[in-house]
Amino acid sequence: SQQGEEDPQALSIQEGENATMNCSYKTSINNLQWYRQNSGRGLVHLILIRSNEREKHSGRLRVTLDTSKKSSSLLITASRAADTASYFCATVSVDTGRRALTFGSGTRLQVQP
Amino acid sequence: ETGVTQSPTHLIKTRGQQVTLRCSSQSGHNTVSWYQQALGQGPQFIFQYYREEENGRGNFPPRFSGLQFPNYSSELNVNALELDDSALYLCASSALGGRVGNEQFFGPGTRLTVL
């Protein structure tokens, strides 16, 4: 079963705008990761934030984590057409013995040139 | 350093048949995990292999089975295929000895269609 939900399910923006997607999860986590998937192919790791961190940056990506609300957000600044993809959050939890990633349902991002 | 590879890329089977999917882990990675991704959904954890043994399993029936070989490559076998088994099957490797602490490295996936 999916760990949680992502919001919005789909997002369409213009090149240069910022894109924000949100993720909620259900259990206590060790860390939360964001992945990108192009056209139903393999996933690429973008960024990881640990449960004791609140914010992390990597290039044009900014991730926040609120463990009290069991939620995270991914911000992509100054978006490009090449950012068009599906984005998934995935959690690593003690419940699974830290053996599995539990994915959300994903946000499909379309960046119009 | 080679990445994670999977074969075949696409596969079409009929209901009731059996299928074997293959994965070669990234160089130096000793842990392989398999995920099933239905159309429009996020991936779901099937199982993980470490030291040639199953090291964790998601909510999948026993007709989903696997193997890991001494070179850390892995196979996913699915018996008695059902229409709902149609999905993208993803393999991921990591080097943390049975734990998922940091990023997983995913292969390109095998698209299985069951008719």
In tens, the pLDDT along A27-83 reads: 888 889 999 999 878 899 999 999 999 999 999 999 999 999 999 999 999 999 999
Residues of A in contact with B92 (CB under 8 A): 43, 101
**A and B: number of Cβ contacts within 8 A:** 75
Q: Identify the pLDDT of residue B28.
A: 82
Convert A38-53 to b/e letters by CB count within 10 Å (16 or more is b).
Answer: eeebbbebbbbbeeee
Nearest chain B residue to A89, by CA = B42
A109 pLDDT above the threshold of 90: yes
| Signed CA dihedral, B3, B4, B8, B9: sign only | negative
Contact state of A45 with B44 under an 8 Å Cβ cutoff? no
Q: How far is B90 from chain A (nearest CA, A)?
A: 7
Would you call A92 and B100 a contact, using CB atoms and an 8 Å cutoff?
yes
> Closest approach of chain A CAs to the CA of B23, in angstroms?
13
- pLDDT > 60? residue B99: no
Tell the burial category of A26 from Cβ atoms under 10 Å away from its Cβ (0-12, 13-18, 19+).
Answer: middle
Can you give the pLDDT at residue B12? Answer: 98
